[in-house]
């Protein structure tokens, strides 16, 4: 028979700690990407929806294409005999394009594949060998279509010229195969459409057909003197364009340029005024905002420019002299929790059927009839347990507005609503539809001596219905940032 250990609660109970959570005013948690060993810096160019980032690392004499994935750098190499390379884009399959020097010193477009595809082996391959000039690949979509300079479309080894008078070279291609060129022309459905004047530049196109870029603005007041002529970032869709900063005096600089756009139409880029620059993010609800005003407290960095944004709202930004950073929306960052964070490595302690979910969204999808087993492990600081904990569950998935900063240095949680004295007591799971049985819980650990490691929930017949709910909580952890307790990783359970 397992011996039950009496739990000694800290002076401040977990219930009190959870009960006074407040909504987070900040939006982004910065993470330094670091620099590959042997290099002096890393500059990012693109991010996909898996949070993978590509760019180049350099020294005083060379540059090399790299992939960053969850804290690890991968050297993408060069084409045979080449010394230089640069990665410019990555799709959601992890396929990367860019350019590399060759043994003759020419520059050729390349594709790098994580697994064999398109008749090519894994690794780096030359896709510019049959182009009679230097070539650069600028973008790749999920179908493996690659566009670049000089005005080419590559697909399954076939090169096609994509150009019309005055259009310039393609710079971006979306998953529908629509292409936008640097001189702001759209090629879609076999038709060319200009999307601006001769002073308009296009940077990227999203899957909704929206285009982001910049145009030369007329004289405006600001930037320390009147009649300063600058550029404005814009977003274009269906023959109409939106100036992202129509009243530059209301923001912080009259000169701005878009660098990236996601499928929701959110745009990031740079705004500047006589040598001082700021990274910005734009969305239809909030307009253009300074990213520096949206960082969590204690970030201690200045975002000078934003390079790219994915559909999850994760942003790649530059903060000289500290380097390149990944800015993660607080509600996504909070899903990882901070168990064992003081020891330098965040640990997962909550698992459903042995899984902690997808790396970023923490989603676990199951069929309604799938048996469920929710397990709570003890933190590494107390591997043998017992480790008192409290978990709560809410129907639905946390959104960008649900992250909240917990008191006493606990950090951030993605719990959708603050807990109150009316909620069920801790050391169990509560939900916003009443008694725990509403989620079909069969074995419920009510006893206050319940502690990790333990199986918190068993549903032998599954949920027996379609539903989405989120589970997260607090656990006693000596290696937490505050030395007392930590936020567990969260799990989004999707039954369908």
Domain range list for the chain: 14-24+333-495, 28-329
Q: How far apart are CA 328 and CA 71, in angstroms?
A: 14
Angle (CA) 333-335-339 rounded to 5° is 95
What confidence score (pLDDT) does residue 229 get? 52
Three-state DSSP at 182 gives coil
Q: How far apart are CA 484 and CA 287, in angstroms?
A: 40
28-329: CATH superfamily: YVTN repeat-like/Quinoprotein amine dehydrogenase (2.130.10.10)
Please report which residue ranges of 260-333 form alpha helices under DSSP H.
Answer: 330-333
Q: How far apart are CA 294 and CA 24, in angstroms?
A: 10
| Cis check: omega of the bond before 344, within 30 degrees of 0 | no
Structure-token match 């912080």, residue found:
252
Q: How far apart are CA 281 and CA 293, in angstroms?
A: 11
What confidence score (pLDDT) does residue 222 get? 54
What string of pLDDT tens digits covers the 496 residues of the chain?
A: 333 333 333 333 444 444 444 555 458 999 999 999 999 999 999 999 999 999 999 988 889 999 999 889 999 999 999 999 999 999 999 999 999 999 999 999 999 999 999 999 999 999 999 898 899 999 999 999 999 999 999 999 999 999 898 889 999 999 999 999 999 999 998 999 998 776 789 999 999 999 999 887 655 555 554 444 567 888 998 877 777 665 554 444 567 889 999 999 999 999 887 668 889 999 988 888 999 999 988 899 999 999 999 999 999 999 999 999 999 998 899 999 999 998 878 999 999 999 999 989 999 999 999 999 988 899 999 888 778 887 777 778 887 777 777 777 888 888 655 444 444 333 345 333 233 333 333 333 333 345 778 887 888 988 888 988 888 888 889 999 888 889 999 999 999 9
Global pTM exceeds 0.75: yes
Q: Write the Ramachandran bin of 72: left for phi over 0, alpha for psi from -120 to 50, otherwise beta.
A: beta
What confidence score (pLDDT) does residue 406 get? 78
Question: Residue 15 is inside which H or E element, if any?
Answer: helix 14-19
Angle (CA) 318-42-254 rounded to 5° is 25
C-alpha dist (Å) from residue 234 to 176, 178, 214, 249, 292:
22, 19, 6, 17, 21
What confidence score (pLDDT) does residue 218 get? 59
What confidence score (pLDDT) does residue 438 get? 34
- Mention every residue, 6+ apart, whose C-beta is less than 8 A from residue 318: 43, 44, 279, 303, 304, 305, 306, 307, 324, 325
DSSP state of 333: H
């Amino acid at each position: 028979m397992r011996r039950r250990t009496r739990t000694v609660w800290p002076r401040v109970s977990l219930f009190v700690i959870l009960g006074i959570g407040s909504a987070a005013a900040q939006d982004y948690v910065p993470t330094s990407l670091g620099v590959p060993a042997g290099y002096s810096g890393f500059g990012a160019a693109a991010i996909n929806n898996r949070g993978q980032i590509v760019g180049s690392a350099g020294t005083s004499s060379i540059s090399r294409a790299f992939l960053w994935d969850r804290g690890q750098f991968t050297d993408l190499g060069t084409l045979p005999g080449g010394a230089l390379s640069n990665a410019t884009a990555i799709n959601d399959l992890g396929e990367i394009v860019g350019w590399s020097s060759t043994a003759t010193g020419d520059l050729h477009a390349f594709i790098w594949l994580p697994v064999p595809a398109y008749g090519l082996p894994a690794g780096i391959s030359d896709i510019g060998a049959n182009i009679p000039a230097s070539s650069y690949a600028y973008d790749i979509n999920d179908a493996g279509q690659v566009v670049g300079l000089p005005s080419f479309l590559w697909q399954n080894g076939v090169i096609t010229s994509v150009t019309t008078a005055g259009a310039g070279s393609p710079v971006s291609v979306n998953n529908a195969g629509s292409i936008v060129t640097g001189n702001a022309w759209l090629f879609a459905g076999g038709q060319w459409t200009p999307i601006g004047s001769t002073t308009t530049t296009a940077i990227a196109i999203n899957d909704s057909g929206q285009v982001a870029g910049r145009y030369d603005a007329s004289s405006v007041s600001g930037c320390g003197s009147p009649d300063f002529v600058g550029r404005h970032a814009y977003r274009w869709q269906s023959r109409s364009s939106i100036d992202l900063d129509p009243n530059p005096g209301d923001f912080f600089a009259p000169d701005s340029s878009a660098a990236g756009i996601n499928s929701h139409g959110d745009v990031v880029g740079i705004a500047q005024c006589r040598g001082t620059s700021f990274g910005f993010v734009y969305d239809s609800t909030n307009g253009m905002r300074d990213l520096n005003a949206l960082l969590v407290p204690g970030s201690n960095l200045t975002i000078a420019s934003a390079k790219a944004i994915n559909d999850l709202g994760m942003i790649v930004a530059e903060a000289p002299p500290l380097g390149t950073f990944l800015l993660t929306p607080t509600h996504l960052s909070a899903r990882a929790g901070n168990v064992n964070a003081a020891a330098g490595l965040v640990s997962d302690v909550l698992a459903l059927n042995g899984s902690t979910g997808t790396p970023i969204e923490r989603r676990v999808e199951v069929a309604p009839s799938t048996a469920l087993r929710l397990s709570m492990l003890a933190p590494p600081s107390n591997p043998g347990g017992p480790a008192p904990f409290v978990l709560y569950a809410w129907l639905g998935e946390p959104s960008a507005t649900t992250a909240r900063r917990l008191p006493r240095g606990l950090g951030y949680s993605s719990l959708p609503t603050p807990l109150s004295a009316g909620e069920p007591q801790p050391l169990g799971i509560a939900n916003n539809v009443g008694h725990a049985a509403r989620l079909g819980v069969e074995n419920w650990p009510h006893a206050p001596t319940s502690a990790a490691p333990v199986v918190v929930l068993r549903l032998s017949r599954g949920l027996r219905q379609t539903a989405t709910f989120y589970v997260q909580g607090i656990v006693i952890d000596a290696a937490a940032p505050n030395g007392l307790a930590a936020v567990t990783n969260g799990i989004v359970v999707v039954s369908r």
